[in-house]
Amino acid sequence: MPRVPGAARGGRADAAPGRPSAVALRDNASMTRLRASAPHEIPDRPPIQVVPGQHVRVGQRDTEWPAFVFITTGNGAGWVPERYLDTSSDPAKALTSYDTTELATTAGEELILIERDDPSGWARVRNVAGIEGWVPLRTIEQVPED
């Protein structure tokens, strides 16, 4: 349940979508190393991206992840943290960019932390292949420093 990578968040325009630039890969050495403590499976529906000012229809609140609401856009539907939306009007308006791409993981897999979102209970991570996505905080643990 993710944000669209941007320069302020470490993403670069010269990187392919979902993949970091060469600069971002070199920066991994200074990032927090994690390990998947449990597998995470991604949902069947394709991820969506929203941009600031985009109008979206807001549906139900998630019962397992109460920070999230289900939204529908012209390009699909998915779960977005409600705090990233202005729900004072109908349709609601996105306040920030967000990308719902999740990352499938296996227990024991090594990951790099990109962004930790404690209010939602999720973290954006990168695997050793350079693929990025969101995973639940409850499925990862920090790797102790050597």
**89 occurs within a structural domain:** yes
Query: Per-residue confidence at 145, pLDDT binned at 50, 70, 90?
Result: confident
Q: According to DSSP H, which parts of 2-139 are helical? A: 22-26
Domain span at 34:
7-42+102-141
What does the pLDDT look like over 42-81, one tens digit per residue? 999 999 999 999 999 999 999 999 999 999 999 999 999 9
Per residue in 5-50, pLDDT tens?
332 223 333 344 455 544 444 455 568 999 999 999 999 999 999 9
Q: What confidence score (pLDDT) does residue 144 get?
A: 87
Which pLDDT value is given to residue 6? Answer: 33
Task: Give CA–CA dist 96/27, Å, rounded.
Answer: 25
Q: Do 20 and 91 belong to one domain? A: no
Asked whether residue 17 is assigned to any structural domain, the reply reads yes
Q: Is the same domain home to 69 and 87?
A: yes
CATH of the domain at 88: 2.30.30
pLDDT of residue 16: 45
146, part of any domain = no
Q: Does position 131 have pLDDT exceeding 50, yes or no?
A: yes
CA dihedral 83, 88, 93, 94 (to 10 degrees): -10
Check residue 31 and give its pLDDT.
Answer: 84
Together in a domain, 53 and 84: yes
Q: pTM score, two decimals?
A: 0.78
Other C-beta atoms lying within 10 Å of the C-beta of residue 50 = 25
- Residue 91 covered by a domain: yes
- Alpha-carbon separation of residue 132 from 17, 39, 80, 89 (angstroms): 9, 15, 17, 33
